[in-house]
A and B are shown apart, each in its own frame.
Chain A
Amino acid sequence: RKEVEQDPGPFNVPEGATVAFNCTYSNSASQSFFWYRQDCRKEPKLLMSVYSSGNEDGRFTAQLNRASQYISLLIRDSKLSDSATYLCVVNSGNTGKLIFGQGTTLQVKP
């Protein structure tokens, strides 16, 4: 079983749609959680950190459920520029080792 699992998609949605990505992780001792965005043939960039209380940044909302070891990302009012791969990332200790999921591809259509 992979340490971080995501549905690879692709998710094809029209502009303005709301889309949700889910992710599960296997190590209950994991400490920090993130969503990264990766554009085609580019490096990953931090989209947002994920906290147990949930956090929101504009159209993006991230949630963490430690009991279920589940992380989510909600994108409201999708834009064409949101088209990218979204990577669920877990930091399981203090070494800074980031564990990435496979990534979920989002394609927003006009």
Chain B
Amino acid sequence: ETGVTQSPTHLIKTRGQQVTLRCSSQSGHNTVSWYQQALGQGPQFIFQYYREEENGRGNFPPRFSGLQFPNYSSELNVNALELDDSALYLCASSLVASGRTPEQFFGPGTRLTVL
């Protein structure tokens, strides 16, 4: 096990609703990245948080937002849910240190279904 946890494991919402997904990073890690994985596709980068600041963002609209807390845990918020938001949402934690590309450790994911 990676030590990265996510909650909830499964979630069902309807179009237009809002959702918050949570991630606890591995002990000692300072960076959390979020990915969306649609069925049959590879994960797509949403954004990354480093020391509570957004540090890179993928091609996702502003209704996808996030937070990182002082303990390095993180939230992903999605407003105005659409059917295409149905996917597995993965968070990955890593320890960013200068001069190295860190390994990212993934949590088990939250499976979101939008009806």
A, B assembled together: yes
Interface residues on B, range: 20 to 34
Asked if A100 meets B56 with Cβ closer than 8 Å, knowing A43-B108, A91-B101, the reply is no
CB distance from B46 to the nearest CB of A (A): 10
Asked if A96 meets B94 with Cβ closer than 8 Å, knowing A46-B103, A103-B42, the reply is yes
CB distance from B7 to the nearest CB of A (A): 14
Interface residues on A, range: 20 to 34
Asked if A102 meets B41 with Cβ closer than 8 Å, knowing A32-B101, A96-B56, A96-B101, the reply is yes
Residues in chain B near residue A43, CB distance under 8 A = 2, 90, 106-109
Instruction: Provide the bound-state CA to CA distance between A4 and B43, in Å.
Output: 12
A94, B45: Cβ atoms under 8 Å? Answer: no
**B interface residue numbers (CB < 8 A to A):** 2, 31, 33, 35, 40-45, 48, 50, 55-56, 58, 90, 92, 94, 96, 101-104, 106-109
A-B contacts, 24 listed (Cβ < 8 Å): A4-B42, A32-B101, A43-B106, A43-B108, A45-B2, A45-B106, A46-B103, A91-B101, A93-B56, A95-B48, A95-B55, A96-B33, A96-B94, A96-B102, A97-B45, A98-B33, A98-B35, A98-B43, A98-B104, A99-B45, A100-B35, A101-B42, A102-B40, A102-B41
